[in-house]
A and B are shown apart, each in its own frame.
Chain A
Amino acid sequence: MIIQQHTSGTIEILTMAGRLTLGEGCSALREAVRQLVDRKADLLVDLSGVNYIDSAGLGELVASFNTITAAGREMKLLRPAKRVDSMLHMTRLYSTFEIFEEEATALKGFKAR
């Protein structure tokens, strides 16, 4: 799992590539989220490069959402790749996360800080 970060105002954009699964992928996301909470940032997770996700990866997205919202910040998802999109639909997470196809539109969806 490779995670790249860039910032837009108070929003951190995490661009993930590879497998979001039990072990390496989940650990990398958890660590990135922990650092974002320390920096009091909102979070946009770009999933376009995630080619495989398992139940642990889905759970890690939910755990990340819980961590970010408990810190009073927002988390949204961007461009889930086909397989991830399918898993999000299957588990009904698609309708509970805010999911965007365009980064600019997603960024506009965050509250102004």
Chain B
Amino acid sequence: MTIDPIVTELRLPTRLGFEKVAMNTAASVAEIMGFSSDRVEDLKTAVSEACINAIEHGNQLNELLGVVVTMSMSVESLEVKIRDHGPGVHEEMHVPDIDRKMLGEEDPRGMGMFLIQALVDEVEYVSEQPGGGSYARLVIHLHPGGKN
């Protein structure tokens, strides 16, 4: 018998700063589930980065659009989907070249997706049907091959 996940959903305005609402809510859910404080901090950063991407790149700072954050809590894992109205991520994740950044040869920013990948157990970027928006799906497991 499977147990339906417990879902918490937020609708954020497309305005920088509101990512903190999502990160703090995700942290509260993760704490309820019993994740360690380090894992909660990892999740907070990953959710914040994904929300900023959704606000800045997905919705292009268009305040007429919203960002929907859905947190699904199951026995073993917490899944956070961050949905925006953009076309989604189509290229391979760019691994930042720190040496080039330090030499001023590469944009000093652009480490967000790399951080997300490093901080959670699973990441997926999904584009829905044309015009349907897209979402980032982040998952942390309570007992992943020992990461918690």
Contact A55 B111 (CB under 8 A): yes
**Which residues 28-68 in B have Cβ within 8 Å of A in the complex?**
41, 45, 48-49, 52
| A63 and B108 contact, Cβ closer than 8 Å, known pairs A23-B17, A54-B48 | yes
- Chain A positions 33 through 65: 1 when the CB is less than 8 Å from some CB of chain B, otherwise 0: 000000000000000000010111011101101
Point out the residues of chain B lying under 8 angstroms from A52, CB to CB: 45
Can you name the residue of chain B whose Cβ is closest to the Cβ of A94? B98
| A96 and B49 contact, Cβ closer than 8 Å, known pairs A56-B109, A90-B115 | no
Residue B11 lies at the interface, judged by CB distance under 8 Å to chain A: no
Please report the C-alpha to C-alpha distance between residue A83 and residue B119 in the assembled complex, in whole angstroms.
Answer: 12
Can you name the residue of chain A whose Cβ is closest to the Cβ of B118? A90
Residue B5 lies at the interface, judged by CB distance under 8 Å to chain A: no
Can you name the residue of chain A whose Cβ is closest to the Cβ of B112? A55
A interface residue numbers (CB < 8 A to B): 21-23, 52, 54-56, 58-60, 62-63, 65-66, 70, 83, 87, 90-93, 96
Please report the C-alpha to C-alpha distance between residue A23 and residue B61 in the assembled complex, in whole angstroms.
Answer: 14
A-B contact count, CB below 8 Å?
A: 57
Residue B104 lies at the interface, judged by CB distance under 8 Å to chain A: yes
Which of B16, B45, B98 is in CB contact (< 8 Å) with A92?
B98
Which of B45, B104, B108, B118 is in CB contact (< 8 Å) with A70?
B104
Contact B111 A59 (CB under 8 A): yes
- Min CB distance B52 to A, Å, is 6
Please report the C-alpha to C-alpha distance between residue A60 and residue B104 in the assembled complex, in whole angstroms.
Answer: 12
Nearest 7 Cβ contacts at the A-B interface: A59-B109, A62-B108, A55-B112, A63-B108, A55-B111, A66-B104, A59-B108
Point out the residues of chain A lying under 8 angstroms from B98, CB to CB: 91-93, 96
| Most A CB within 10 A of own CB, among B96, B107, B109, B119 | B109
